[in-house]
């Protein structure tokens, strides 16, 4: 659409509920994505699930983010959306720690 994509998340660990919480916002959407998730130590993967509003359809849809630790300096994030019947990968970001 001729403009750079910018997004950010706020993430926290809830000690009482023993789960992670995340809010995602970007300049292509018109609302916030709310998710909760669990970390799997064996696979070094944090998987969030939640909801967002599809601005085109004006309805709530399911969302999922999967963070995978590669090593101490790298991890990946994949984002998926579903309308209830089909899950579609909508984004992948590869993170590298700046030294």
Domain boundaries, the chain: 8-96
pLDDT computed for residue 36 by the predictor: 97
Strands (E) across 1-99 are located at: 7-14, 19-26, 33-40, 45-54, 59-71, 74-82, 87-96
Record the tokens describing residue 44, joined without a space. Answer: 């070094």
pLDDT computed for residue 38 by the predictor: 96
Per-residue pLDDT of the chain (99 residues; tens, 9 = 90+): 688 988 888 999 999 999 999 998 888 877 888 999 999 999 999 999 999 888 778 888 999 999 999 999 999 999 999 877 889 998 899 999 997
Strands 74-82 and 87-96, bridge-based pairing: antiparallel
Q: What pTM was estimated for this model as a whole?
A: 0.81
* Residue recorded with tokens 């939640």: 50
Q: CA-CA distances (angstroms) from residue 6 to 16, 20, 67, 85? A: 32, 23, 18, 28
């Amino acid at each position: 659409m001729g403009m750079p994509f910018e997004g950010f998340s706020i993430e926290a660990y809830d000690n009482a509920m023993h789960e992670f919480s995340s809010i995602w916002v970007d300049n292509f959407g018109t609302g916030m994505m709310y998710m909760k998730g669990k970390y799997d130590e064996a696979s070094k993967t944090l998987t969030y699930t939640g909801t967002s509003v599809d601005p085109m359809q004006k309805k709530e849809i399911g969302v999922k983010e999967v963070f995978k630790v590669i090593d101490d300096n790298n991890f990946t994030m994949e984002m998926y959306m579903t309308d209830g019947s089909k899950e579609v990968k909508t984004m992948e970001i590869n993170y590298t720690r700046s030294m």
